[in-house]
């Protein structure tokens, strides 16, 4: 497999498959064509149409060259493919797959790790047909039609490695796979040239391994003798079979593991908070943490991927493989042990150990262990103080915790140390976010514009990073009431993300929501509505129909429908949003109070005052509970009282009954008479 730099060219991908049936061959062809439409350099035997006999160098050499030059080889596994890959097929049949398997086995043998052979299945029942020699690698199921199939999208993300390229030309494929290329007569000279070429390539791989094997053979022998002595001394223990596996780093598998840890942490802590009657800010903070942690997953995985591509034997790469195979806890144990062992001997490996400490911080974040994450970042700074990345990470953590002074110190330190333009864009963008959070918008804007300019020059104008910079700048312009300047930036960010991730991705939903809010602010409700409906649909598919993000999207759409006097359409959306938030946050959360208020106002607008009153009353009680628990009045409490008094007046209640209902609110919220009286005097 190729080990060349792919940063300036699309990844090259060879597809190895068996010609099981015309239908199977057609699905493989459509996969190859779609990869090329997505800018990935897919190679297939059916693209070799220069002559009826196939490529001029002959099929054996062509196949071997494709495998050795490819960045990734996709193995489309079926029962027939497995039979041929393992050499179990009848003699004379399936020679193509048999030959490809020999080349693949040689590469795996000499390199000892799977560096890019990816099993692929087109039916769920073919999982067992993945050959044993590549079964350790993460496989992908593409059961549906490309490009919409979720398995294809995951595979594309793995192959593209976070980058994007324009579509490649689509070759005119042959009408059917080559019928008998392995039985055709091939000149002896070409066969010899092919064998010699492949032998030389494999020898290059072997030579790189030979030096390492010679150096380590003695210590391996000593270690084996020590193990035998220990096993012999422990009489009660029998022999065990030990197997060493070399697992390929898989960004998709690592992201899935870390994402699962985030969800497991969230659910456990949410159940604990609800059980102990936690205050609303704690529950809010937990939901916010989950959203932020999930949003940072791509960056964490990309960080590990960059390291793994250049330093496959580094501690970070090793820990990543442990995480994807055995989970976050096992990886944390490994990193803690290795970093402690390094001790004072770290100077020769300062950068490697600092990288490992930052990955350790990312793993702690998946478990909401902020103190441990901060300690790991500070450890990285101590290991390699001259590296900008740990300072930037510390700034981000401080920014999230509203520690403004620490955040600014860290970002400024990172800015002094950074050397690459793209890294500078990251740091100054983060610094701009801090300046915006502390209302220094005039200082933030030029930094955002510079970050955008750098990323456009570095990645091209259609890169997802550019969309992030555009969105950040647009939000700042909107905050300074320059909506006309913000809108084209939002539209451009939306267009980039739709092209990069597809029209149904959650990141696209965020861009749609931002643009819809701006259109609503400029009274273009007809333009905003279809965007809001798309947001609801995307969130429902991405997060499930009961997720709080869905409730927020439903509320936004309902408010728009109410503004256009479609109250009958808005009401079921409001009721559904209320139900979701009650289940997510609990019945006494301020977000539930907001939902109750929205629904009560709609009922009030349709003259159903009797239905609106208990909802409005509950809305006030929730804010009173918040005030009792936190020791200060909720910002919406005064308006809530005013809304409730207005409703009672509209209900034509006499003054005595109306006052009784207001007076009883305090006891309902758990306040004694004195507390409630004093609170009312402040409103």
What's the pLDDT tens digit per position in 629-640? 877 788 888 889
Token pair of 309, please? 């591509």
**682 Cβ contact partners less than 8 Å away, ≥ 6 residues apart:** 633
Q: Return the SS3 of 18.
A: coil
How far is the CA of 384 from the CAs of 10, 395, 405, 492, in angstroms?
Answer: 34, 16, 22, 39
Token pair of 308, please? 């793994």
How far is the CA of 584 from the CAs of 284, 416, 619, in angstroms?
Answer: 10, 44, 17
pLDDT above 70 (res 451): yes
Phi, psi of 490 (to 5 degrees): -65, -40
C-alpha to C-alpha distance for 18 and 15, rounded to whole angstroms = 10
Phi, psi of 140 (to 5 degrees): -125, 135
What's the pLDDT tens digit per position in 56-103? 777 888 888 898 889 899 999 999 999 899 888 776 677 889 889 888
Strand partners for 42: 13
Q: What is the pLDDT of residue 238?
A: 31
> For 502, which DSSP code?
-
pLDDT above 70 (res 204): no
Pairing mode of beta strands 117-121, 72-76? parallel
pLDDT above 50 (res 613): yes
**321 Cβ contact partners less than 8 Å away, ≥ 6 residues apart:** 247, 248, 249
Average pLDDT over the chain, rounded to an integer: 83
C-alpha to C-alpha distance for 444 and 430, rounded to whole angstroms = 10
C-alpha to C-alpha distance for 322 and 325, rounded to whole angstroms = 5
Q: Residue 147, preceding bond cis, omega within 30 degrees?
A: yes
pLDDT above 50 (res 210): no
Q: What is the pLDDT of residue 281?
A: 66
Q: Which residue has the tokens 């999930």?
A: 294
Q: Give the residue ranges of DSSP H helices in 19-94.
A: 22-37, 59-69, 79-85
C-alpha to C-alpha distance for 380 and 631, rounded to whole angstroms = 40
CB 626 within 8 A of CB 585: no
Question: How far from chain centre, in Å, is Cα 60?
Answer: 40
Q: Which residue has the tokens 């005119």?
A: 172
Q: What is the pLDDT of residue 110?
A: 60
CB 397 within 8 A of CB 375: no
C-alpha to C-alpha distance for 488 and 474, rounded to whole angstroms = 9
Span of 68-77, 236-245, 550-559, 653-662 with lowest mean pLDDT: 236-245
What's the pLDDT tens digit per position in 116-132? 899 999 998 898 899 88
Q: 633 — alpha (psi -120 to 50), left (phi > 0) or beta?
A: beta
What's the pLDDT tens digit per position in 393-410? 999 999 888 888 999 999
pLDDT above 80 (res 160): yes
pLDDT above 50 (res 188): no
Local confidence band at 447 (pLDDT 50, 70, 90 cut-offs)? very high
CB atoms within 10 A of CB 672: 10
pLDDT above 60 (res 219): no
pLDDT above 50 (res 383): yes
- Give me the percent of the chain exceeding a pLDDT of 70: 84
Closest by Cα among 142, 170, 232, 225 to 32? 170
Pairing mode of beta strands 140-141, 117-121? parallel
CB atoms within 10 A of CB 68: 21
| pTM exceeds 0.85, yes or no | no
C-alpha to C-alpha distance for 86 and 369, rounded to whole angstroms = 47
Q: What is the pLDDT of residue 540?
A: 92
More confident residue, 351 or 194: 351
Across 265-269, 299-303, 343-347, 384-388, which has the greatest mean pLDDT? 384-388
Token pair of 201, please? 């390539």
Token pair of 377, please? 């970042």
């Amino acid at each position: 497999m190729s080990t060349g730099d792919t940063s300036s060219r699309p990844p090259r991908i060879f597809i190895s498959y068996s010609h099981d049936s015309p239908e199977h061959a057609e699905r493989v062809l459509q996969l190859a064509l779609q990869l090329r439409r997505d800018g990935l350099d897919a190679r297939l035997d059916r693209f070799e149409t220069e002559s009826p006999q196939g490529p001029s160098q002959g099929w054996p050499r062509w196949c071997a060259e494709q495998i050795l030059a490819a960045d990734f080889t996709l193995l489309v596994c079926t029962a027939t493919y497995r039979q041929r890959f393992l050499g179990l097929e009848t003699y004379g049949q399936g020679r193509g797959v048999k030959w490809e398997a020999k080349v693949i086995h040689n590469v795996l043998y000499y390199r000892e790790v799977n560096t890019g052979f990816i099993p692929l299945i087109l039916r769920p029942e073919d999982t067992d047909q993945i050959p044993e020699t590549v079964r350790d690698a993460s496989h992908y199921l593409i059961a549906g039609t490309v490009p919409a199939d979720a398995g294809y999208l995951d595979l594309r993300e793995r192959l593209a490695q976070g980058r994007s390229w324009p579509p490649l030309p689509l070759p005119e494929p042959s009408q059917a796979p080559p019928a008998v290329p392995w039985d055709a007569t091939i000149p002896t000279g070409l066969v010899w040239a092919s064998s010699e070429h492949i032998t030389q390539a494999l020898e290059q791989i072997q030579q790189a391994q030979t030096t390492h094997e010679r150096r380590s053979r003695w210590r391996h022998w000593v270690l084996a003798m020590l193990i035998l002595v220990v096993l012999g001394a422990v009489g009660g223990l029998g022999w065990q079979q030990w197997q060493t596996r070399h697992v390929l780093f898989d960004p998709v598998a690592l992201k899935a593991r870390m994402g699962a840890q985030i969800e497991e942490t969230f659910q456990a802590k949410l159940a604990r908070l609800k059980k102990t009657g936690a205050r609303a800010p704690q529950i809010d903070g937990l939901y916010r943490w989950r959203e932020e942690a999930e949003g940072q997953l791509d960056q964490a995985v990309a960080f590990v991927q960059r390291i793994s591509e250049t330093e496959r034997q580094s501690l970070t790469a090793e820990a990543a493989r442990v995480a994807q195979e055995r989970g976050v806890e096992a990886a944390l144990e490994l990193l803690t042990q290795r970093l402690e062992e390094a001790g004072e001997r770290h100077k020769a490996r300062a950068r490697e150990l600092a990288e490992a400490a930052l990955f350790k911080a990312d793993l702690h974040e998946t478990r909401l262990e902020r103190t441990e994450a901060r300690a790991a970042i500070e450890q990285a700074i101590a290991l390699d103080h001259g590296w900008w990345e740990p300072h930037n990470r510390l700034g981000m953590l401080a920014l999230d915790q509203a520690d403004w002074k620490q955040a600014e110190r860290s970002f400024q330190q990172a800015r002094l140390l950074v050397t690459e333009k793209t890294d500078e864009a990251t740091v100054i963008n983060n610094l701009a976010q801090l300046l915006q959070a502390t209302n220094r918008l005039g200082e933030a804007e030029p930094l955002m514009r510079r970050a955008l300019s750098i990323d456009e020059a570095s990645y091209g104008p259609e890169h997802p990073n550019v969309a992030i910079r555009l969105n950040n700048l647009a939000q700042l312009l909107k905050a300074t009431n320059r909506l006309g300047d913000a809108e084209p930036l939002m539209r451009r960010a939306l267009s980039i993300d739709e092209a990069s991730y597809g029209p149904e991705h959650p990141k696209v939903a965020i861009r749609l929501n931002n643009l819809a809010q701006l259109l609503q602010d400029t009274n273009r409700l007809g333009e905003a509505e279809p965007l809001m409906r798309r947001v609801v649909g995307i969130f429902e598919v991405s997060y499930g129909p009961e997720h709080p993000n869905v409730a927020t999207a439903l509320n936004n759409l309902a408010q728009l429908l109410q503004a256009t006097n479609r109250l009958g359409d808005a009401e079921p959306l409001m009721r559904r949003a209320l139900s979701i938030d009650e289940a997510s946050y609990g019945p006494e959360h301020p977000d539930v109070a907001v939902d109750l208020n929205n629904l009560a106002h709609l009922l009030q607008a349709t003259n159903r005052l009797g239905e609106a009153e208990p909802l409005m009353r509950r809305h006030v009680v929730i804010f009173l509970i918040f005030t009792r628990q936190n020791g200060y009045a909720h910002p919406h409490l005064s308006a809530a009282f005013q809304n409730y008094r207005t409703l009672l007046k509209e209900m034509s209640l006499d003054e005595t009954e109306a006052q009784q209902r207001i007076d009883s609110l305090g006891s309902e919220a758990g306040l004694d008479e004195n507390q409630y009286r004093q609170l009312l005097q402040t409103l």
